[in-house]
Chains A and B, each alone.
Chain A
């Protein structure tokens, strides 16, 4: 506390006479515009959604109407579609994040040990990150095509089965997973590689002198040191997977049936296809609440790291 303010106090004392404004006023003036924008547009929609969630609101039948108490909230608990969507989201998130983390870290190790061409390989594999899921996702439908798709042609030429990637309800969700893995594994790899390259040298040299086995070094040195970075990546990926929308929208539109209908897609369908704003808002509030609570727990370490740095600077 004291040292944070200490820095500004000294400068304050020196030049107070010249600038009639205190550091505090100045700093608040700087934050105010951005904060106003964020507050208005984070809080306003929230209040609006909260209000609608207690009303009857069917845009096909007279728009936003009278209050109905907790009816919409009761419906959430009895709506099997909601829980199915939740289950699909959970399956997607667990599988996609696990694959992205393991493959990403594996690739980072592969690249880390490279002696030549590391930079080139890195540039090549980060390309999927630059593309929009909505645009490349659409093109992936052509790759997945059962008749003209290049994917099944490759599988076929190795004598492997040729699945109906997007048309089979038992497979479609995993096809979306593969697409997400394609787009986001490079992210994990990139960050993990940066983490590996930033590791301090001394403990590893000491371990080498002690004759520790590579496995032991990996388990007791590399992974513990990488943990903060990997944890951050895990949190960011989980948040993104839970709110996955774009890939589903362009690849499967929730189908076949409702086999790939994630939370966000069900919410979208309820609100903007069926125009039941009341129920969709209720689900949005639910969803938001869960995300925010999870985010607070997940992000606290990150925040601490940041404020600590601000204080020592």
Chain B
């Protein structure tokens, strides 16, 4: 690991790194740039790098296309889903990490459901929600097609397995001794969980919450198939920029930038935990 560094090799290394950065960052850079371009700088060849920036595309996306409506839906659906996932997930994960319920088999079953391709269950989901939406209970819980409840329920189901696995890895990091001494002091199990373990697990729970939020925010398939208009999220909303006159690239870029920006910020803030989050807690990073 301490090999002598030759100058040409180092030049090559940094040259390649510049290329790598270019490849991964350029599309996002170009998207933001396009969102600020006036119409006459978008549909031109060759592409223009210099132009007078304008917020016209943002105005179009927000006022004419009502894009904030989709943001609002996405926010409601992702936040409520995340709250449910974190509560149910924390309780279950604590039980797995401390009491080893099901001796690993149950945990394995839960992870294996995560491997289910969403498309394979989307048809039954579609048919079931279509029926449930016609019942009184379904109406009350907004569980029909194109209603928030249906999407929230789907997201909770689909993100729980991931959240449980990630949370188990965080709970495993908390030393048992602390809980033991609290138990010896006469606290009930529930009190120990509430007063000792959960506060210690708070950072891990926050990480899991942010990951769940990102997944819900970026989800497309369920949103596309289970919603039409009233409950549509940003990933579906961007599609409404397809018009008979063609795709309005300026407003698309503006809408996409709005949709992506919060998640970019989150991911940058979460860097330290990215590795663990993306591997279900298997690699600690």
Contact = CB atoms under 8 A, between A and B. Distances in A.
Contact of A30 (B45, B91, B168): B91
Interface residues of A, number: 113
A171 interface: no
A7 B176 contact: yes
B172 A139 contact: no
Interface in B89-110: 89, 91-92, 94-104, 106-108, 110
Contacts of A80: none
B127 interface: yes
B283 A45 contact: no
Contacts of A140: 27
Given A143-B30, A208-B2, A246-B221, A125 B25 contact: yes
A78 interface: no
B47 A150 contact: yes
Interface in A1-48: 1, 4, 7-8, 11, 14-15, 18-19, 21, 23-24, 26-28, 30-31, 33-35, 37-38, 41-42, 44-46, 48
A122 B99 contact: no
Given A125-B24, A194-B275, A284 B119 contact: yes
A134 B225 contact: no
Contacts of A111: 17
B117 A136 contact: no
A142 B34 contact: yes
A287 B123 CA distance: 13
B157 A37 contact: yes
A246 B46 CA distance: 30
Given A125-B25, A268-B119, A306-B168, A37 B274 contact: no
A67 to B, nearest CB: 17
Contacts of B282: 232, 302, 305-306
A34 B88 contact: yes
A81 interface: no
| Interface residues on chain B, size class | 35 or more
Contacts, number: 324
A296 interface: yes
B104 A249 contact: no
Interface of B: 1-3, 13, 16-17, 20-21, 23-25, 27-28, 30-31, 34, 42-47, 88-89, 91-92, 94-104, 106-108, 110-113, 115-128, 153-154, 156-157, 160-161, 164-165, 168-169, 172, 176, 180, 183-184, 186, 188-190, 214, 217-221, 224-225, 234-236, 238-239, 247, 249, 252-253, 256, 259-260, 263-264, 266-268, 271, 274-275, 278-280, 282-285
Q: Which 10 A-B pairs have the closest CB atoms?
A: A132-B218, A45-B124, A27-B99, A243-B117, A134-B220, A130-B267, A307-B104, A30-B95, A34-B92, A295-B115
16 contacts: A37-B88, A42-B113, A128-B24, A132-B220, A134-B218, A136-B27, A138-B252, A139-B253, A142-B253, A147-B45, A153-B45, A190-B278, A214-B3, A246-B221, A280-B123, A306-B168
Interface of A: 1, 4, 7-8, 11, 14-15, 18-19, 21, 23-24, 26-28, 30-31, 33-35, 37-38, 41-42, 44-46, 48-49, 52, 64, 107, 110-111, 113-114, 121-136, 138-143, 147-150, 153, 182, 185-187, 190-191, 194-195, 198, 201, 204, 208, 214, 229, 232-233, 236, 239, 242-243, 245-246, 249-250, 264, 267-268, 271-272, 277, 280-281, 284-285, 287-288, 291-292, 295-296, 299, 302-303, 305-307, 309-311, 313
